[in-house]
Structure 1
Amino acid sequence: MPQNLALEIAVQDPAGVRVAGAVGAARVELAQALALGGLTPSPATLELSIEAAREAGPEVHVLIRPRAGGFHYDADELAVSERDVRRAVDAGAHGVVIGALDPSGVLDLDAMARLRDAAGGASVTLHRAIDVTPEPLATLRAARELGLRRVLTSGGASAAVDGIDTLRALVAAAEGAIEIMAGSGVTAASARALAATGVDALHFSAKRSVVEDGGVRMGSAADGVGGYEVTDLATARALIAALA
């Protein structure tokens, strides 16, 4: 594995934190509902995951996202997010992962500054909201000016391996002043090519599905019945082995 490449695993619970610790990941991004792109985890999940991390080792960075869908938030949603940022940091999280866009689809500087300030001195990552902005390089510059620690990006593609050219451009534009972390659909097959772009970190979920058939749909989504996802130790190990 490249010497300076950090690994971050997206997890949904304390068990996922322990998997990340077992494979030597530097960080976890703690969320719930990864199938929806990730949402803010519950307070109990937050507290128990931080407790697990004290033994397992990885830093805990908490996704703050009040709902699925786009990233333009109203006043109530921003108020919820601000309180969730404070809750996460007060609970002992090392950082938070945020993103807010204005009605035109560019980074909402006022909302981002408000959430950044709520984090106090904790690390702040801009999540993949950057990937739906019209000019990712301009968004990166704004993130630098806001003093954010890193950006999680797929290079504007659905899967990071398809955004490699943009990832290289973002690495060059970052000039070492802000970290670039590649994520979305990262697998053992794509990890080496992504690492070769010069990114500072790889973000992946290493998940597998647990299939259940309850026979009754429990939500409006197409997958509202049938199972759930967990962080898988063997999948995480396979990706890391591919980097070796």
Structure 2
Amino acid sequence: MSRPVLEIAVQDLAGFCVAADAGAVRVELCAALAATGGLTPSAGLLAALVAERDARAATGATPPGVHVLVRPRPGSFVYDADELDVQVRDVRAAVDAGADGVVVGVLTADGHVDTAALTALVEAAAGRDVTFHRAVDAVEDPFAELDALATAGVTRVLSSGGADRSIDGVRRLAAMVEHTAGAVQVMAGGGVRPVDIGALVAAGVDAVHLSAGRPVTDDGGPGGGGTAGYTVTDPAVVADAVAALARVQPTDA
């Protein structure tokens, strides 16, 4: 088993730079993370991150891979044909823009992975990594769904083990790792704090995912969401996560 890696969910170029400077292996690029759990980011934002990634690589550095969340709206992960069409277009656009991978999640109304929709999204990804996000935490039997993800060609699954916070779902995460036996990578995510990383790695996960967010109070007025503000990537939290990951070893190391 290789050493687990760190993925940071980011919403802007500054967040990517924080993750890159800290040595994260991947970023998940999204929008409206705190308010919605994440939505598809803009084309301009993706272009900016890809340009920064490529500029860093040109210097001989190994910047994080850019993985794009494709989620057209908040709410459930059950989508109609028009919403799926938009997601397929967004996946293709992300690939054409230079993304290293995409992050998707599609379910049927009765709580299973929507294999037909997922197949269309994997095909649109054209060989790039596909991560199935925490939609898996909304299914009744995640172990059966892991098999469906493997068959569809999904690279990894992001899960909290069915809990609000991944540390509370760590036993299920360990069981998911055992069940899939490497056919699908299992990445722990959901309310992750640096202090949780040791226990999550002990469960055998391939990666740990966190947003490392810090709230910023900013009044947008009646037309801009009032005083809801927004979140930014906190360099101190990312540094703590990197240090925590460095202190632990894989379970069979």
Q: Does 1:44 align with 2:44?
A: yes
* Equivalent residues of 2:78, 2:107 under 8 A apart: yes
Say whether 1:90 aligns with 2:88. no
Residue of structure 1 equivalent to 2:30: 31
1:79-118 to 2 correspondences below 5 Å:
79-118=85-124
Which of 160, 181, 196 is the aligned partner of 2:202? 196
CA distance in structure 2 between the aligned counterparts of 1:103 and 1:193, rounded to whole angstroms: 34
Distance 2:220 2:50 in 1: 32
SS at 1:96 equivalent:
strand
Structure 1 residue 99: Cα displacement: 0.8
TM-score (norm 1): 0.94
Q: Structure 1 CA distance, aligned partners of 2:116 and 2:244?
A: 41
1:241: Cα distance to partner?
Answer: 1.7
Aligned equivalents of 1:230, 1:237: Cα separation in 2 = 15
Residue 27 of structure 1 contacts residue 58 of structure 1 at CA under 8 Å; is this kept in 2? Answer: yes
State the 1:215 CA deviation. 5.2
> 2:214 matched to 1:208?
yes
How far residue 3 of structure 1 moved from its aligned partner, in angstroms, is: 5.7
Measure the CA separation in 2 of the matches of 1:215 and 1:109: 43
TM-score of the aligned structures, taking structure 2 as reference length: 0.91
Which of 121, 130, 139 in structure 1 is aligned with 2:127?
A: 121
Whether the 8 Å CA contact 1:217–1:225 is kept in 2: the answer is no
Deviations for 1:56-94, whole angstroms, at most 9, x for unmatched residues?
410001000000000000111111100000000000001
Query: What count of residue pairs does the alignment treat as equivalent?
Result: 239
Matches within 5 A, 1:147-166: 147-166=153-172
Counting aligned pairs with the same residue, the percent is: 51
Aligned partner of 1:235 in structure 2 is: 237
Q: Determine if the alignment matches structure 1 residue 180 to structure 2 residue 180.
A: no
Answer whether contact 2:217 2:227 (CA < 8 A) is retained.
Answer: no
Q: 5+ unaligned residues in a row in structure 1: which ranges?
A: none
Which structure 2 residue ranges, 5 or more long, are not aligned? 57-62, 248-253
Per-residue deviation at 1:192?
A: 1.0
Alignment of 1:132-147 (within 5 A): 132-147=138-153
Cα deviation, residue 216, structure 1: 3.5
How big is the shift at 1:55? 3.5
Change (3 A) 1:212 1:118: same
Q: 2:250 aligns to what?
A: none
- Report how far residue 191 of structure 1 moved: 1.2
